[in-house]
Structure 1
Amino acid sequence: MKFEELVRKLERMMEEPLPGREGQVMMAPQGRMNEGAYKASIRSDHRKGAVLMLFYPHPDGTFVPFIKRPAYEGVHSGQIAFPGGKYEESDGGLDRTALRETEEEIGVDASQVRILGKLTEVYIPPSNFMVHPYIGFIDRLPEFNPDPLEVERVIECSFPHLLDKKIRKIGPVQSSSGVILKAPYFAIEKEIVWGATAMMLGEFTYLWEKVERKGI
């Protein structure tokens, strides 16, 4: 599928009702599958954040970048995620947070990115963040310039690979507390993408597959 055609399809997809938890739950860790327990875990003093699922043209098709966090003393040490971060009052909106953080973390010019819509927010108990995922695209191959303090490396993943059900697996993962638990994940570039990012991808792929079946 040509990049322009994919963008048009994404635009139509984002006009559809979001599946929400129905789409997220298939990639949720065991402790977050129960709706009641999930809602009960959300603290009233939670912080807000936003991330960006960015589509861009590449000589080998359409790609989406992920980041690998550096090892540090924190709950997201070494994890794979979409670029993004904490909402600041000066942002004026969570979509702007996603754009600002993406520019700061991987060097993509925020003014060149067009936001198409957003997916359902995901609460992350260990860091007490409610994260809002946005879908956007840039119409040229970006030149990544990752911030070494925020990003160990940028992982470029082809869109067809993201949709490949063979990369969806279940196995042992290590939580931020060091506990090993069994959870669903996406296997991307020899990395394990699980937790909140996997839940966002779960909703995205669920919605994409629904649109495909409907022939939109």
Structure 2
Amino acid sequence: MTRTDEETAADPTHGVGTGGLLSRAGLPGWLAPVERAARTVEPEQLSRFLPPADGAGRQSAVLVLFGEGERGPELLLMERAGTLRSHAGQPSFPGGALDPEDGPPADGGLLRAALREAEEETGLDPSGVQIFGVLPQLYIPVSRFVVTPVLGWWRVPSPVGVVDPAETARVFTVPVADLTDPANRATTVHPSGHKGPAFLVESALVWGFTAGVIDRILHFAGWERPWDRAKQVPLDWRS
């Protein structure tokens, strides 16, 4: 069901409690289309994998953190350690499961989880991050996580790097200009036959859930450039 404009205006965070942690004041102008998209996008416009109707799945959150580097706007990503049980070796947003210390989801727990996990995985200082939006909750069937993408502006950048090698292989930033460059875009083909967007950036193949979120943000923010969807990259599922 598509929400009316009035419902969207009344619920710009898609039913996710923010606990007073969300602020849209003072964002750089280039983030305006991302903030606007976060308020208006529907879950079905982001992914066909949506949370089960019965409420099953573990609540989690990722931090989609935008900063400004030497080449302009950029995103913070990390590469998961190859020894992890799920999504080993994959580039991803910082994030993880909701913990009791984060508080209930209705009172900003998922936003706190995104910041806490980002600090634990990359060492960033959460006090320098301004949360400005929340995307609809999505679902990762293989790990049964219900994921809330939390959008942040890296208002005061801090040093980042690998905190625990058992969890994180590396931490890196990717210029948005590289993500929108058609030369860096491709379609991945999973052994199951499922196809999805991918980005070949910073010596990494960004695919799966992370690439899907980036792809939709670029599209709905109006940043997407035409690219060759016939260019395919097979996945090595052993990674």
Give the whole-Å Cα distance in 2 for the aligned partners of 1:195 and 1:62. Answer: 22
Matching of residues 81-96 of structure 1 within 5 Å: 81-92=92-103, 93-96=109-112
Structure with higher RCO (Cα < 8 A, 6+ apart): 1
Tell me the secondary structure at the aligned position of residue 14 of structure 1: helix
Read off the aligned partner of 1:190 and give its amino acid letter. S
Read off the aligned partner of 1:205 and give its amino acid letter. L
Show the counterpart of 2:153. 137
Show the counterpart of 2:89. 78
Structure 1 residue 202 displacement after superposition? 2.4
- Match for residue 196 of structure 1 among 209, 217, 220: 209
Read off the aligned partner of 1:121 and give its amino acid letter. Q
Structure 1 residue 144 displacement after superposition? 0.6
> Quick check: 1:170–1:182 contact (8 Å CA) kept in 2?
no
Give the whole-Å Cα distance in 2 for the aligned partners of 1:66 and 1:51. Answer: 11
In 2 relative to 1, CA 123–60 (structure 1 residues): closer, same or farther, beyond 3 Å?
same
Read off the aligned partner of 2:29 and give its amino acid letter. E
Structure 1 residue 146 displacement after superposition? 1.9
Unaligned runs of 5+ in 1: 26-34, 174-178, 212-216
Give the whole-Å Cα distance in 2 for the aligned partners of 1:116 and 1:124. Answer: 24
- Greater helix fraction, Structure 1 or Structure 2: 1
Matching of residues 17-166 of structure 1 within 5 Å: 17-22=40-45, 24-25=46-47, 35=48, 38=49, 44-92=55-103, 93-147=109-163, 148-166=165-183
Give the whole-Å Cα distance in 2 for the aligned partners of 1:39 and 1:99. Answer: 23
Unaligned runs of 5+ in 2: 1-26, 104-108, 225-239
User: Under a length normalisation based on structure 1, what TM-score does the superposition of the two structures give?
Assistant: 0.77
Identity in percent: 30
RMSD: 2.7
> Quick check: 1:53–1:64 contact (8 Å CA) kept in 2?
yes
Total equivalences in the alignment: 192
Structure 1 residue 85 displacement after superposition? 0.5
User: Under a length normalisation based on structure 2, what TM-score does the superposition of the two structures give?
Assistant: 0.70
Deviates more, 1:52-61 or 1:5-14: 5-14
Read off the aligned partner of 1:209 and give its amino acid letter. G
